[in-house]
């Protein structure tokens, strides 16, 4: 795998090539001719319009198949912008471009100089020379946002009306919910484009099927849509509703009953996304509102510490000594939670046949006795520990006198939304 520098280029193999930019970013692309201009707005690929002939965006990954680009296209320019609009790129980790071929083999990596006040960065461009395609590293910044970039490439940027059957993406939503949160003493949330995109996909799937559900008829859960859009979360909440005809009616509906109102007021959430569609066989409006806090290393550590503290409180009530945190057990527990999300299973036995003691040993632990609790779907450390304590088998692990150490794992995503692991050692 090669390291590209600004201006450097890479000959591409035949077939599709993918570029990925992990982190709190939105990836977009502009399909142009030799003059550097788009032929129409349909040549702008971004989260609200994730596909064009020969180019498809999924989460943080853009896949380009040059032979399938529209006639006359000779260049695809790849840009990255903060997922939180208005945030300078200089306040975020430096974006890094990873290039892979159709089989997923790494081809190149490009880490441009760290941006400063720019809000959009042109990372690379696919371009044609004769009958061959190459990739050139760029690193050019824009300070006037995605709209300014699009205008320079010939995209007409206007405030479009909603598509047929689609409610406006905000239409006062943020003001209504933040007013309700302020009255409850909770900090405001901001809209996140990835959550809006995931909400739109899920609302469309529910409308097409004519029914509400965390998992739609295509077999994809709303949580998988969130992580698929590139938002890794520490905590998540949702409202799935049919009936209200406007954003104001939808918010009023969510504030009417205790459980949905608690979600609106929850101080843990920092971001939100909303979409409503009234297509489909029933003619009803289907709404998806998503609420989340992003996953950070500090947040993950705090969550694990809270689970450990609550576990040790239960042991203290039973007259038992506290469990000490073991980094090796923590690594094994975290790997198992992430594995359950990635391979879509929920079990003490992984698809490869490994059991808790196998995973502990693989992480380097030499403890003689091993026990494991797992859970899925709970939204907080308090909820998951309470659930374990209400289950005899899990409670027995928490209160086992022979255990002296513990590791905690957490991962968001999958069909259930959250996956928790406690790994005990003695």
* pLDDT tens digits for range 200-220: 889 988 888 888 999 988 788
Residue among 390, 426, 423 nearest 409 (CA):
423
Q: Write the pLDDT tens digit of every residue in 229-264.
A: 888 999 999 999 998 888 899 999 999 999 999 999
State how far Cα 135 lies from the chain centre. Answer: 27
Q: What is the pLDDT of residue 381?
A: 96
Over 80: is that where the pLDDT of 85 sits?
A: no
Over 90: is that where the pLDDT of 277 sits?
A: no
Cβ atoms of 311 and 321 within 8 Å: the answer is no
Strand partners, 410: 420
Q: What is the pLDDT of residue 272?
A: 94
Over 70: is that where the pLDDT of 154 sits?
A: no
| Helix 258-265 × helix 247-254 angle, to 10° | 110
Binning pLDDT at 50, 70 and 90, where does residue 317 land?
very high
| SS (HEC) of the chain | CEEECCCCEEECCCCCEEEECCCCEEEEEEEECCCCCCCCHHHEEECCECEECCEEEECCEEEECHHHCCCCCCEEEEEEEECCCCCCHHHCCCCCEEEEECCCCEEEEECCCCCCCCCEEEEEEEEEECCEEEEEEEEEEECCHHHHHHHHCCCCCCCCCCCCCECCCCCCHHHHHHHHHHHCCCCCCEECHHHHHHHHHHHHHHHHHCCCCCECCCCCEHHHHHHHCCCCEEEEEEEEEECCCCHHHHHHHHCCCHHHHHHHHCCCCCEEEEEEECCCCCCCCEEEEEEEEECCHHHHHHHHHHHHHHHHHHHHHCCCCCCEECHHHHHHHHHHHHHHHHCCCCCCCCCCCCCHHHHHHHCCCCCCCEEEEEEECCCCHHHHHHHHHCCHHHHHHHCCCCCCEEEEEEEEECCCEEEEEEEEEC
* Minimum mean pLDDT range among 75-89, 180-194, 303-317: 75-89
Binning pLDDT at 50, 70 and 90, where does residue 392 land?
very high
- Residue 104 has phi, psi (to 5 degrees) of 85, 10
Q: What is the pLDDT of residue 88?
A: 72
Q: What is the pLDDT of residue 160?
A: 41
Q: What is the mean pLDDT of residues 83-91?
A: 71
Residue 163's alpha-carbon distances to 226, 243, 286, in angstroms, are 22, 19, 15
Tell me the percentage of the chain whose pLDDT exceeds 70.
90
- Residue 173 has phi, psi (to 5 degrees) of -55, -50
Q: What is the pLDDT of residue 130?
A: 84
Q: In what order do the strands lie in the sheet with 2-4?
A: 2-4, 106-110, 97-101, 17-20, 61-64, 55-58, 51-52
- Give the Cα separation of 261 and 375 in Å (integer): 25
Cβ atoms of 203 and 243 within 8 Å: the answer is no
Mean predicted lDDT score pLDDT of the chain? 87
Cβ atoms of 238 and 198 within 8 Å: the answer is no
Q: What is the pLDDT of residue 396?
A: 97
Q: What is the pLDDT of residue 388?
A: 97
Binning pLDDT at 50, 70 and 90, where does residue 2 land?
confident
- Give the Cα separation of 275 and 325 in Å (integer): 42
Q: What is the pLDDT of residue 157?
A: 42
Q: Write the pLDDT tens digit of every residue in 324-382.
A: 999 999 999 999 999 999 998 999 999 999 999 999 999 999 999 999 999 999 999 99
Q: Write the pLDDT tens digit of every residue in 100-148.
A: 999 899 999 998 887 766 778 888 999 988 889 999 888 877 665 666 5
């Amino acid at each position: 795998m090669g390291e590209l520098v600004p201006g450097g280029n890479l000959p591409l193999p035949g077939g599709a090539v993918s570029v990925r930019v992990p982190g709190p970013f939105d990836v977009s692309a502009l399909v142009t001719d030799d003059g550097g201009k788009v032929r129409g707005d349909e040549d702008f690929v971004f989260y609200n319009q994730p596909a064009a002939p020969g180019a498809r965006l999924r989460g943080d990954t853009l896949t380009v198949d040059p032979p399938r680009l529209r006639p006359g296209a000779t260049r695809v320019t790849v840009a990255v912008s903060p997922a939180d609009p208005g945030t300078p790129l200089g306040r975020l980790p430096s974006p890094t471009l990873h290039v892979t071929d159709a089989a997923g083999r790494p081809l190149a990596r490009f880490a441009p100089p760290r941006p400063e006040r720019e809000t959009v960065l042109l990372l690379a461009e696919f371009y044609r020379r004769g009958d061959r395609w190459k990739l050139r590293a760029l690193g050019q910044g824009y300070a006037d946002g995605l709209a300014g970039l699009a205008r320079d490439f010939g995209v007409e940027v206007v405030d479009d009306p909603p598509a047929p059957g689609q409610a406006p993406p905000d239409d006062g939503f943020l003001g209504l919910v933040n007013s309700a949160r302020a009255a409850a003493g909770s900090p405001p949330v901001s809209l996140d484009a990835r959550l809006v995109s995931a909400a739109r996909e899920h609302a469309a799937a529910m409308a097409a099927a004519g029914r509400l559900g965390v998992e739609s008829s295509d077999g994809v859960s709303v949580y998988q849509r969130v992580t698929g859009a590139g938002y890794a979360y520490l905590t998540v909440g949702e409202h799935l509703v049919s009936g209200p005809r406007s954003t104001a009616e939808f918010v009023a509906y969510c504030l009417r009953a205790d459980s949905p109102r608690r979600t609106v007021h929850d101080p843990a959430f920092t971001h939100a996304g909303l979409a409503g569609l009234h297509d489909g066989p029933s003619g009803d409006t289907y709404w998806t509102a998503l609420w989340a806090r992003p996953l950070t290393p500090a947040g993950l550590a705090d969550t694990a510490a809270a689970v450990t503290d609550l576990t040790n409180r239960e042991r203290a009530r039973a007259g038992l000594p506290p469990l000490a945190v073991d980094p090796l057990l923590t690594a094994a527990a975290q790997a198992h939670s992430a594995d359950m999300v990635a391979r879509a299973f929920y079990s003490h036995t992984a698809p490869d046949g490994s059991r808790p003691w196998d995973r502990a040993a693989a992480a380097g632990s030499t403890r003689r006795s091993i026990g494991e609790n797992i859970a899925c779907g709970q939204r907080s450390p308090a909820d998951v520990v309470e659930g374990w304590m209400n289950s005899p088998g899990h409670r027995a692990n928490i209160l086992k006198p022979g255990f002296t150490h513990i590791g905690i794992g957490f991962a968001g995503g999958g069909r259930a939304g959250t996956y928790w692991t406690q790994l005990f050692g003695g």
